[in-house]
Amino acid sequence: MDIVWIYQIMNTIFAGIFGLVIGSFLNVCIYRIPEGRTIVKGHSMCMSCGHELGASDLVPLFSWIILKGKCRYCGSPIASRYAKIEGLTGGVFAVLSWQRRSAYYLPGSPIKDLIPFLSLVILLLLTAVVIVSMMIQKDHKTGMYRLSAGVIILYAARVSLCFLDMPALKPILMSSSKSLLVAAAILLLLMIFCPFECVSLRTAFRDIYKGKTVRKYFASANRTIRTTDLLFLAICTAIGLPAALLCIFAYAAARAVSKQEILLPYMGIIIAASALAGVIIFPGYVF
């Protein structure tokens, strides 16, 4: 077997294990961020008995399997979602890393060859932020502006790598700009026309002309929709076209549903799943 092939396999396995560890940290973020608590201090504990968990209780995924989904100290069930998020993060990290295995930096290679590897690292961090955002929305039925800001910061970090490889700057900016314009146009249409209401055509056009639909969109009651729209816009910009096409189609279809309260908790999952599929099917340009 070729030594480079072995090197790529080993790095992919490491990426998957690293993803499990990151997934464990994401569970902390999902629980603490909405409560305004710090994510860098404090010990993990059983949610039932309050017993502080030891190192053997916190091995990502495997602790839950070995303990059969129960607390070692009180025997209370431990939600399987913690293991699922760890497994999901590890699996996604492994898949993205294997697909982009040519980006692994070989010791002794020129510094320029480090750029694809750093781009992969940024993509994995972006994936982590998206997983946190989708789970917070599922739990609390609302998103958070700071997570959209995190997506933009990671995109800015990706663009900054282009200063080490200037020919790549224009294609990336063009891809992101096109994606931003298409996603923004879709959001504008959704803002004006959705959700659909059973009114006469004359009434509908009158409401649009008077700006009623736009005012309704910016009402405090629709904050959840706005935070979700912003996340959608940020992710589409970050992954660029054509990777964002699946996300744009999926999100537009979900947002056009009249009873938004039913789908709102799952909007983050829709965005995350379609964006991931797009990045896997259409790699290139930005990531």
pLDDT digit of tens for each residue in the chain (287 aa)? 578 888 889 999 999 999 999 999 999 899 888 888 877 776 677 666 766 666 666 678 777 787 777 777 777 777 888 899 999 999 999 999 999 998 888 777 777 788 999 999 999 999 999 999 999 999 988 888 899 999 999 999 999 999 888 888 999 999 999 999 999 999 988 877 765 444 445 555 666 656 666 777 777 878 888 899 999 999 999 999 999 999 999 999 998 887 777 888 899 999 999 999 999 999 878 88
Q: What is the CA angle 97-101-105, rounded to 5?
A: 105
Q: Tell me which of 72, 104, 136 is where a domain ends.
A: 104
Does residue 235 share a domain with residue 175? yes
Does residue 271 share a domain with residue 154? yes
Q: How far is Cα 264 from Cα 275, in angstroms, rounded to an integer?
A: 17
| Count of structural domains, the chain | 2
Largest CA distance in the chain: 71
Q: Is residue 6 in a domain?
A: yes
CA distances from 111 to 7, 74, 138, 201 (A): 19, 53, 42, 61
At 225, is the secondary structure helix, strand, or coil? helix
Does residue 151 share a domain with residue 93? no
Q: Tell me which of 87, 104, 121 is where a domain ends.
A: 104
Does residue 168 share a domain with residue 281? yes
Domain of 208 in residue numbering reads as: 147-287
